Structure 1
Amino acid sequence: MKNLIFLVTLLLFAACGTGKKETQANGAISVDSLKSEVLSIHDEVMPKMGELRRARKDLLFLADSLMETDAERAAMLTTVADEIDAANESMMQWMRAYESEFEGTDEEIRQYLEDQKVAIQKVKDDMLGSLKKGKKVLED
Protein backbone atom coordinates (compact mmCIF):
# COMPACT_ATOMS: atom_id res chain seq x y z
CA MET A 1 0.00 0.00 0.00
CA LYS A 2 2.84 2.40 0.87
CA ASN A 3 4.42 1.67 -2.49
CA LEU A 4 1.16 2.45 -4.27
CA ILE A 5 0.79 5.80 -2.48
CA PHE A 6 4.43 6.62 -3.23
CA LEU A 7 3.96 5.72 -6.90
CA VAL A 8 0.80 7.81 -7.23
CA THR A 9 2.50 10.76 -5.52
CA LEU A 10 5.52 10.41 -7.79
CA LEU A 11 3.29 10.33 -10.87
CA LEU A 12 1.43 13.44 -9.73
CA PHE A 13 4.67 15.36 -9.25
CA ALA A 14 5.91 14.21 -12.63
CA ALA A 15 2.66 15.28 -14.29
CA CYS A 16 2.89 18.74 -12.74
CA GLY A 17 6.41 19.22 -14.04
CA THR A 18 5.63 18.64 -17.73
CA GLY A 19 4.51 22.22 -18.49
CA LYS A 20 6.52 24.47 -20.78
CA LYS A 21 9.29 26.48 -19.16
CA GLU A 22 9.24 30.30 -19.28
CA THR A 23 12.54 30.45 -21.13
CA GLN A 24 13.82 27.65 -23.27
CA ALA A 25 17.41 26.41 -23.44
CA ASN A 26 18.24 28.65 -26.42
CA GLY A 27 16.99 31.73 -24.56
CA ALA A 28 13.73 32.01 -26.53
CA ILE A 29 10.58 32.92 -24.64
CA SER A 30 8.10 30.04 -24.38
CA VAL A 31 4.86 29.94 -26.32
CA ASP A 32 2.88 30.10 -23.07
CA SER A 33 4.80 33.15 -21.94
CA LEU A 34 4.29 34.91 -25.29
CA LYS A 35 0.59 34.13 -25.23
CA SER A 36 0.39 35.51 -21.72
CA GLU A 37 2.15 38.73 -22.80
CA VAL A 38 -0.26 39.21 -25.73
CA LEU A 39 -3.31 38.71 -23.55
CA SER A 40 -1.87 40.91 -20.81
CA ILE A 41 -1.53 43.83 -23.23
CA HIS A 42 -5.10 43.24 -24.43
CA ASP A 43 -6.42 43.02 -20.87
CA GLU A 44 -4.64 46.23 -19.94
CA VAL A 45 -6.46 48.36 -22.53
CA MET A 46 -9.74 46.51 -22.98
CA PRO A 47 -11.32 48.33 -20.01
CA LYS A 48 -10.60 51.63 -21.81
CA MET A 49 -13.17 50.82 -24.54
CA GLY A 50 -16.00 52.43 -22.60
CA GLU A 51 -13.88 55.48 -21.86
CA LEU A 52 -13.03 55.77 -25.58
CA ARG A 53 -16.69 55.64 -26.59
CA ARG A 54 -17.60 58.24 -23.96
CA ALA A 55 -14.83 60.60 -25.08
CA ARG A 56 -15.87 60.18 -28.73
CA LYS A 57 -19.48 60.94 -27.86
CA ASP A 58 -18.46 64.03 -25.87
CA LEU A 59 -16.24 65.26 -28.72
CA LEU A 60 -18.99 64.84 -31.29
CA PHE A 61 -21.53 66.54 -29.04
CA LEU A 62 -19.20 69.51 -28.55
CA ALA A 63 -18.37 69.62 -32.27
CA ASP A 64 -22.07 69.66 -33.11
CA SER A 65 -22.71 72.52 -30.70
CA LEU A 66 -19.82 74.55 -32.20
CA MET A 67 -20.62 73.84 -35.85
CA GLU A 68 -22.18 77.24 -36.50
CA THR A 69 -20.03 79.40 -34.23
CA ASP A 70 -16.57 77.84 -34.63
CA ALA A 71 -16.49 75.51 -37.64
CA GLU A 72 -12.70 75.14 -37.48
CA ARG A 73 -12.73 73.87 -33.88
CA ALA A 74 -15.73 71.68 -34.65
CA ALA A 75 -13.80 70.08 -37.52
CA MET A 76 -10.81 69.48 -35.26
CA LEU A 77 -13.02 67.88 -32.60
CA THR A 78 -14.58 65.64 -35.24
CA THR A 79 -11.12 64.61 -36.44
CA VAL A 80 -10.07 63.63 -32.92
CA ALA A 81 -13.36 61.74 -32.48
CA ASP A 82 -12.58 59.88 -35.72
CA GLU A 83 -9.12 58.96 -34.39
CA ILE A 84 -10.74 57.57 -31.25
CA ASP A 85 -13.23 55.64 -33.36
CA ALA A 86 -10.40 54.20 -35.48
CA ALA A 87 -8.51 53.10 -32.35
CA ASN A 88 -11.67 51.50 -30.96
CA GLU A 89 -12.28 49.71 -34.27
CA SER A 90 -8.67 48.48 -34.40
CA MET A 91 -9.23 46.72 -31.06
CA MET A 92 -12.43 45.15 -32.37
CA GLN A 93 -10.66 43.98 -35.54
CA TRP A 94 -7.75 42.56 -33.54
CA MET A 95 -10.12 40.63 -31.28
CA ARG A 96 -12.03 39.20 -34.25
CA ALA A 97 -8.82 38.12 -35.98
CA TYR A 98 -6.94 36.77 -32.95
CA GLU A 99 -6.78 32.97 -32.91
CA SER A 100 -6.31 31.83 -29.32
CA GLU A 101 -5.95 28.23 -30.49
CA PHE A 102 -3.61 28.90 -33.42
CA GLU A 103 -2.14 25.62 -34.62
CA GLY A 104 1.20 24.93 -36.22
CA THR A 105 4.74 24.03 -35.32
CA ASP A 106 6.23 25.60 -32.22
CA GLU A 107 8.10 28.05 -34.44
CA GLU A 108 4.94 28.99 -36.40
CA ILE A 109 3.01 29.49 -33.16
CA ARG A 110 5.84 31.55 -31.70
CA GLN A 111 5.96 33.73 -34.85
CA TYR A 112 2.18 34.15 -34.82
CA LEU A 113 2.27 35.26 -31.18
CA GLU A 114 5.19 37.62 -31.81
CA ASP A 115 3.19 39.20 -34.64
CA GLN A 116 0.11 39.43 -32.42
CA LYS A 117 2.16 41.05 -29.67
CA VAL A 118 3.30 43.75 -32.09
CA ALA A 119 -0.26 44.20 -33.38
CA ILE A 120 -1.90 44.48 -29.97
CA GLN A 121 0.86 46.84 -28.77
CA LYS A 122 0.00 49.13 -31.71
CA VAL A 123 -3.68 48.91 -30.79
CA LYS A 124 -2.77 49.83 -27.21
CA ASP A 125 -0.65 52.77 -28.34
CA ASP A 126 -3.42 54.00 -30.67
CA MET A 127 -6.09 53.66 -28.01
CA LEU A 128 -4.14 55.38 -25.25
CA GLY A 129 -2.81 58.08 -27.58
CA SER A 130 -6.19 58.97 -29.04
CA LEU A 131 -7.83 58.90 -25.61
CA LYS A 132 -5.18 61.22 -24.20
CA LYS A 133 -5.58 63.55 -27.17
CA GLY A 134 -9.37 63.49 -26.83
CA LYS A 135 -9.28 64.32 -23.13
CA LYS A 136 -6.81 67.14 -23.72
CA VAL A 137 -8.97 68.65 -26.47
CA LEU A 138 -12.06 68.41 -24.26
CA GLU A 139 -10.26 70.23 -21.44
CA ASP A 140 -9.15 73.13 -23.68
Structure 2
Amino acid sequence: MKVRPFPLFVLFFALLFSCAAEKDENVALKEQVIAVHDEVMPEIGTLKSRQKKLEEKADALAQEANGVDTGEQVQELRAAARSCEAAYDGMFVWMRQFESEYDGMTEEEIRSYLQDQMKKVEQVKKDIRSALTRSDSLLNGGL
Protein backbone atom coordinates (compact mmCIF):
# COMPACT_ATOMS: atom_id res chain seq x y z
CA MET A 1 0.00 0.00 0.00
CA LYS A 2 1.42 3.29 -1.09
CA VAL A 3 0.54 6.40 0.96
CA ARG A 4 0.04 9.47 -1.09
CA PRO A 5 1.37 12.54 0.66
CA PHE A 6 -0.76 15.10 -1.21
CA PRO A 7 -4.17 13.99 0.22
CA LEU A 8 -2.67 13.88 3.71
CA PHE A 9 -1.19 17.32 3.16
CA VAL A 10 -4.60 18.68 2.06
CA LEU A 11 -6.35 17.04 5.01
CA PHE A 12 -3.81 18.48 7.45
CA PHE A 13 -4.28 22.03 6.15
CA ALA A 14 -8.06 21.68 6.02
CA LEU A 15 -8.08 20.75 9.71
CA LEU A 16 -5.62 23.49 10.55
CA PHE A 17 -7.68 26.18 8.83
CA SER A 18 -11.00 24.98 10.27
CA CYS A 19 -9.54 25.24 13.78
CA ALA A 20 -8.24 28.71 12.99
CA ALA A 21 -11.69 29.75 11.77
CA GLU A 22 -13.30 28.51 15.01
CA LYS A 23 -10.71 30.42 17.01
CA ASP A 24 -11.37 33.60 15.02
CA GLU A 25 -15.11 33.20 15.62
CA ASN A 26 -14.49 32.81 19.35
CA VAL A 27 -12.27 35.89 19.42
CA ALA A 28 -15.03 37.87 17.69
CA LEU A 29 -17.65 36.52 20.10
CA LYS A 30 -15.52 37.44 23.11
CA GLU A 31 -15.13 40.96 21.68
CA GLN A 32 -18.93 41.20 21.35
CA VAL A 33 -19.41 40.14 24.97
CA ILE A 34 -16.88 42.74 26.12
CA ALA A 35 -18.51 45.39 23.90
CA VAL A 36 -21.89 44.87 25.60
CA HIS A 37 -20.18 45.18 28.99
CA ASP A 38 -18.35 48.33 27.87
CA GLU A 39 -21.60 49.83 26.58
CA VAL A 40 -23.39 49.74 29.94
CA MET A 41 -20.54 49.88 32.44
CA PRO A 42 -20.40 53.70 32.33
CA GLU A 43 -24.01 53.76 33.59
CA ILE A 44 -23.12 52.02 36.86
CA GLY A 45 -22.51 55.32 38.65
CA THR A 46 -25.86 56.62 37.41
CA LEU A 47 -27.57 53.56 38.89
CA LYS A 48 -26.17 54.27 42.34
CA SER A 49 -27.05 57.95 42.07
CA ARG A 50 -30.63 57.17 41.03
CA GLN A 51 -30.96 54.59 43.78
CA LYS A 52 -30.00 57.20 46.37
CA LYS A 53 -32.38 59.79 44.90
CA LEU A 54 -35.26 57.30 44.84
CA GLU A 55 -34.64 56.36 48.48
CA GLU A 56 -34.44 60.03 49.49
CA LYS A 57 -37.67 60.83 47.65
CA ALA A 58 -39.41 57.84 49.26
CA ASP A 59 -38.22 58.91 52.72
CA ALA A 60 -39.30 62.51 52.16
CA LEU A 61 -42.69 61.46 50.86
CA ALA A 62 -43.23 59.14 53.81
CA GLN A 63 -42.33 61.90 56.30
CA GLU A 64 -44.45 64.56 54.59
CA ALA A 65 -47.51 62.35 54.38
CA ASN A 66 -49.34 63.89 57.38
CA GLY A 67 -52.18 61.42 57.09
CA VAL A 68 -52.24 61.42 53.31
CA ASP A 69 -52.07 57.90 51.91
CA THR A 70 -48.80 57.81 49.97
CA GLY A 71 -47.93 54.22 50.79
CA GLU A 72 -48.27 53.04 47.20
CA GLN A 73 -46.03 55.82 45.90
CA VAL A 74 -43.43 55.16 48.58
CA GLN A 75 -43.48 51.44 47.76
CA GLU A 76 -43.05 52.17 44.06
CA LEU A 77 -40.07 54.43 44.76
CA ARG A 78 -38.48 51.83 47.04
CA ALA A 79 -39.08 49.06 44.46
CA ALA A 80 -37.39 51.18 41.79
CA ALA A 81 -34.45 51.80 44.15
CA ARG A 82 -34.16 48.05 44.70
CA SER A 83 -34.16 47.44 40.94
CA CYS A 84 -31.29 49.95 40.58
CA GLU A 85 -29.38 48.13 43.29
CA ALA A 86 -30.11 44.72 41.74
CA ALA A 87 -28.93 45.91 38.31
CA TYR A 88 -25.78 47.35 39.87
CA ASP A 89 -25.08 44.12 41.74
CA GLY A 90 -25.86 42.08 38.62
CA MET A 91 -23.09 43.78 36.68
CA PHE A 92 -20.50 43.04 39.35
CA VAL A 93 -21.67 39.45 39.83
CA TRP A 94 -21.33 38.91 36.09
CA MET A 95 -17.89 40.54 36.02
CA ARG A 96 -16.61 38.39 38.91
CA GLN A 97 -17.69 35.13 37.28
CA PHE A 98 -16.55 36.01 33.73
CA GLU A 99 -13.47 34.05 32.68
CA SER A 100 -11.21 35.52 30.02
CA GLU A 101 -8.75 32.62 29.91
CA TYR A 102 -9.82 29.28 28.50
CA ASP A 103 -7.01 26.89 29.39
CA GLY A 104 -7.97 23.28 28.80
CA MET A 105 -11.11 24.11 26.83
CA THR A 106 -11.75 23.11 23.24
CA GLU A 107 -12.81 25.72 20.71
CA GLU A 108 -16.34 24.32 20.85
CA GLU A 109 -16.41 24.59 24.66
CA ILE A 110 -15.11 28.14 24.44
CA ARG A 111 -17.81 29.07 21.92
CA SER A 112 -20.50 27.55 24.13
CA TYR A 113 -19.14 29.39 27.18
CA LEU A 114 -19.02 32.71 25.34
CA GLN A 115 -22.54 32.27 23.96
CA ASP A 116 -23.75 31.70 27.52
CA GLN A 117 -21.84 34.78 28.69
CA MET A 118 -23.42 36.82 25.90
CA LYS A 119 -26.88 35.86 27.17
CA LYS A 120 -25.88 36.80 30.72
CA VAL A 121 -24.33 40.16 29.83
CA GLU A 122 -27.32 41.01 27.60
CA GLN A 123 -29.57 40.36 30.62
CA VAL A 124 -27.35 42.64 32.71
CA LYS A 125 -27.70 45.31 30.03
CA LYS A 126 -31.48 44.86 29.94
CA ASP A 127 -31.71 45.11 33.74
CA ILE A 128 -29.60 48.27 33.82
CA ARG A 129 -31.57 49.97 31.06
CA SER A 130 -34.88 48.97 32.63
CA ALA A 131 -33.87 50.27 36.06
CA LEU A 132 -32.66 53.56 34.59
CA THR A 133 -35.82 54.06 32.54
CA ARG A 134 -38.06 53.32 35.53
CA SER A 135 -36.09 55.56 37.87
CA ASP A 136 -36.00 58.38 35.32
CA SER A 137 -39.76 58.20 34.98
CA LEU A 138 -40.34 58.26 38.74
CA LEU A 139 -37.86 61.02 39.47
CA ASN A 140 -38.85 63.28 36.61
CA GLY A 141 -42.58 63.62 37.05
CA GLY A 142 -43.83 60.08 37.46
CA LEU A 143 -44.96 60.79 41.00
- Output the CA distance in 2 between the equivalents of 1:122 and 1:29: 25
Match of 2:14 in 1: none
How big is each residue's C-alpha offset from its partner over 1:65-122, in whole Å with a ceiling of 9 and x where there is no partner?
Answer: 0113122211110001001111111101000000011330000000000000010000
Q: CA RMSD in A?
A: 2.0
Please, which of 43, 55, 58 is the counterpart of residue 38 of structure 2? 43
- Output the CA distance in 2 between the equivalents of 1:57 and 1:133: 14
Unaligned stretches of 5+ residues in structure 1: 1-17
Structural mapping, 1:129-140, within 5 Å: 129-140=130-141
| Amino acid in structure 2 at the alignment position of 1:122 | Q
Unaligned stretches of 5+ residues in structure 2: 1-16
- Output the CA distance in 1 between the equivalents of 2:130 and 2:91: 14
- Output the CA distance in 1 between the equivalents of 2:139 and 2:62: 15
Structural mapping, 1:29-108, within 5 Å: 30-68=25-63, 69=65, 70-103=70-103, 104-108=105-109
| Amino acid in structure 2 at the alignment position of 1:118 | K
| Amino acid in structure 2 at the alignment position of 1:138 | L
- Output the CA distance in 2 between the equivalents of 1:111 and 1:85: 29
Give aligned-pair identity as a percent: 36
Higher relative contact order (CA 8 A, sep 6+): 2
TM-score w.r.t. structure 2 length? 0.77
Give the number of aligned pairs. 118
- Output the CA distance in 1 between the equivalents of 2:24 and 2:132: 32
Tell me which protein shows more helix as a share of its residues.
2
- Output the CA distance in 2 between the equivalents of 1:49 and 1:111: 28
4+ runs of 1 displaced by more than 6 Å? none
- Output the CA distance in 1 between the equivalents of 2:133 and 2:45: 14
TM-score w.r.t. structure 1 length? 0.79
Larger Rg: 2
